[in-house]
Amino acid sequence: MLEKGFTAWFTGLPCSGKTTVADGVAEELRDRGYRVERLDGDIVRKSLTRDLGFSKEDRDANIMRVTFVAKLLTRNGVAVLATFVSPYRERRAKSREEIGEFVEVYVRCPVEVCIDRDIKGMYKKALAGEVTGFTGVDDPYEEPADPELILDTDKETVEESVEKVLEKLKELGYIS
């Protein structure tokens, strides 16, 4: 059913809602008969990139590997929904260039809301100094300069965010 593959790249702070929204989009696309793959930061780091840490070099290597997988899936007509903090603009730009059919979705959410949503306690550990190099606390997040779509997950329901993504994919000609 999918005429050409694409990668929707969800980027934003930890706990901003990337995974929740992408899971909703995936479910909706599957219900419509599309072939969908989810690439998620937590899952990828348990398999494909388990040898990497969180230095800038390791974060870039993580995204390089994911980009390679997303490119292969995209070129084979799959709707790829990738959810990664991917904090650096330059690396996201390289992913866009390499994948080609790339839709950047900025999942924007104030860090205070992300902290409130954090069920794993990652922000708490970072704020206490138990974890260093944590994006949004002591490591930078570079907001996208010109994403195809911005979701304000502190102001929208999950359903509204999912609908906005589907509308953008339709507008861009990736889904009907």
pLDDT of residue 3: 67
Instruction: Tell me whether residue 17 is in a domain.
Output: yes
pLDDT of residue 131: 86
pLDDT of residue 23: 98
pTM exceeds 0.85? yes
Instruction: Tell me whether residue 122 is in a domain.
Output: no
Q: Where are the alpha helices (DSSP H) in 46-140?
A: 56-75, 89-99, 111-117, 122-127
Local confidence band at 166 (pLDDT 50, 70, 90 cut-offs) = very high
Output the six-digit token pair for 42. Answer: 């937590």
Instruction: Tell me whether residue 134 is in a domain.
Output: no
With a cut of 90, say whether residue 67 has pLDDT above it. Answer: yes
pLDDT of residue 52: 86
Q: Which of 16, 47, 55, 86 is catalytic?
A: 86
Instruction: Tell me whether residue 28 is in a domain.
Output: yes
* Structural domains of the chain, count: 1
Instruction: Tell me whether residue 163 is in a domain.
Output: yes
Instruction: Tell me whether residue 61 is in a domain.
Output: yes
**95-112, pLDDT tens digit by residue?**
999 999 999 999 999 999
Q: What is the mean pLDDT of residues 24-45?
A: 94
Which structural domain, as residue segments, surrounds residue 167? 6-110+141-171
Instruction: Tell me whether residue 136 is in a domain.
Output: no
Identify the CA nearest to 126 among candidates 9, 46, 13: 13
CATH number at residue 154: 3.40.50.300
Instruction: Tell me whether residue 149 is in a domain.
Output: yes
Residue 86: active-site member? yes
16 near 109, Cβ under 8 Å?
yes
Q: Rounded to an integer, what distance in angstroms lies between the CA atom of residue 138 and that of residue 141?
A: 10
pLDDT of residue 1: 52
